[in-house]
Structure 1
Amino acid sequence: MAVQPAKRAFVKPCPYDLCDGSGMVVDWDANETYRCRCWPEQVQRRRARRLSNVVPKKFQNLGFDREPLPSIERSAPVQVRAVRQFCERIDEMLDRGRGMWFLGSPGTGKSHLAYLISQHAMTAGRSVAIYTGPRLLDEIRRTYGDDESGSTLDLIDRLTSVELLHIEDLAVARPTDWVLEQLYNIINGRYENEKSIVFTCDLTGDEDEPGMIHPEHLAKHITMRNFSRLMEMCGDPLPLYGEDHRRNF
């Protein structure tokens, strides 16, 4: 049987080497076209293009051997090593739905490490959505005024199906009931579908222990049901302490 991939102007490799990345294969002997094994992944990536995947200029072209990563590594060698290992196994980690989260005070390198993961995921051809916590919620709010029926559900569905969701400053948003409901829809959807999350958080204490860093503070902020799911998906946080690197660069 002579089987050839369907012709397409833009070619993206098929992970199964069965088509040209279009998601369609042509059987010339049978004179028929059928969907490749990678079809669901191609559909997922097309839908993900409607999400934000813009890496800010500040975090473009990051490298473990370029500043400020060497400086961050000197103060947090264990954390940087963990990120390096994650990036080296990016396909495996995303296929397993594994994530990471970075907890600490401002300017300690949380965002740089998170963007390194997103950068490696994009280089590997994986779909990535990048948002700050407030912008993510603003995007959802906008859909409530949309005349198109089901636009909110469509956005939530895309946010739960993209291969990597990167959220900066997860704990910034004021935790109203509406905010907590939207976070649960996204986090639980990704949890059930084993999709990876990478996020940063600088929630570092309360009135009783100002300045102290405890993961449980996030649980109080976003509810235990959200926190529990994130802990299973991402494991223990990578804490970053020390001086504010922004004062040096």
Structure 2
Amino acid sequence: MVLEADFLDMKVCQPEEAWQWRETYSIRCECVERRKRERLMKSSDITDEFRKLRFQNFRIEGKHPIVVQAKQCALSYFSEFDNVRSLRENSISLLGQPGAGKTHLLTAVANNLIDRKGVSVQYFPYIEGTKELRDDFNLLTEKLERMKKADVLFIDDLFKPVKRVPRASDWQVEQMYDVLNYRYLNHLPIMVSSELTIHELVEVDEALATRISEMSKSFTVVIKGNRMELNHRLEGLKDV
């Protein structure tokens, strides 16, 4: 800590220089970091319920191997984030089967990036988010700018299908492409969950899909198979 008079006189030193001050030197108060994390979490639009989603409470006992692989991919992405964040392949995509835990795992990554690395994350639930933007155009520019400029953008349930038809109007595709292309050009990471595979995303918009594919090439898992084995919401209904 420093004396107020010394601080005002700009006599602030680093710990390694503290010998000059004997027992008086400057440190960053823990409350500063805590308040920073609180601000980042509040601005992320991650709900209180989703803040509880962590790697520790994602159960893999008895789960299909592809679900275990998805968790390992998410853990690896978090551990490697500092090394890859400025590279072309700096993103992660978990695709395929609904109910397999894609949102849980990517939210766990987001929560850890905020809490442990002080990284800003913007959460964008595709269905609710595009509806909000469409209903209030006054929010459009501000929201899109936040999505473009955040350290990490998390798009949840991109183009979520209805009866196997992707929800992707021309306007929705245009907004998503605008955001993703900006982040692609500026090497800003994205995290994407979607029930669509890359091939199915290509059918929606090839330019958008191939950018996602290129950015997340090192961290992509496609979850496909028997829904009774993969969708945790169907557990216990096998004989129904």
Using structure 1 for the length normalisation, give the TM-score: 0.68
- The match for 1:80 is 71
Partner in structure 1 of residue 151 of structure 2: 163
Residue 99 (str. 1) matches residue 91 (str. 2): yes
Alignment of 1:1-249 (within 5 A): 2-3=11-12, 11-12=32-33, 50-54=43-47, 56-57=49-50, 60-64=52-56, 66-72=57-63, 74-96=65-87, 98-123=90-115, 124-144=117-137, 146=138, 152-172=140-160, 174-203=167-196, 214-221=197-204, 223-235=205-217, 237-241=220-224, 242=226, 243=229, 244-248=231-235
* Secondary structure in structure 1 of the residue aligned to 2:32: coil
Question: Any idea what SS the aligned residue of 1:129 has?
Answer: strand
Name the SS of the counterpart of 1:108 in structure 2: coil
Query: Residue 190 of structure 2 aligns to a residue in which SS?
Result: strand
Q: Which amino acid aligns with 1:185?
A: D
Q: Which amino acid aligns with 2:209?
A: F
Structure 1 distance, partners of 2:102, 2:158, is 12
Higher helix share: 2
Residue identity in the other structure for 2:182: G
Q: Would you say how many aligned residue pairs link Structure 1 and Structure 2?
A: 203
Q: Aligned residue for 2:7?
A: none
Which structure is larger by alpha-carbon Rg, 1 or 2?
2
3-state DSSP of counterpart to 1:12: helix
Q: In structure 2, how many angstroms separate the alpha carbons of the residues matched to 1:9 and 1:84?
A: 26
Once residues 168 and 84 of structure 1 are traced to their aligned partners in structure 2, the CA distance between those partners, rounded to angstroms, is: 18
- For 1:115 and 1:48, how far apart are their aligned partners in 2? 12
Instruction: Return the alpha-carbon distance in structure 1 between the equivalents of residues 182 and 61 of structure 2.
Output: 36
Query: Are the structure 2 counterparts of residues 230 and 127 from structure 1 closer, same or farther at C-alpha, using a change threshold of 3 Å?
Result: same
Structure 1: any 5+ residue segments left out of the alignment? 14-20, 23-44, 204-213
Kept in 1, the 8 Å contact 2:122–2:146? The answer is: no
Q: RMSD in angstroms over aligned alpha carbons?
A: 3.4
Task: Mark the runs of 5 or more structure 2 residues left unpaired by the alignment.
Answer: 1-9, 14-25, 161-165
Deviation above 6 Å: which 4+ runs of structure 1? 45-48
Partners of 1:239 and 1:55 lie apart in 2 by 28
Q: Normalization by structure 2: what TM-score? A: 0.70
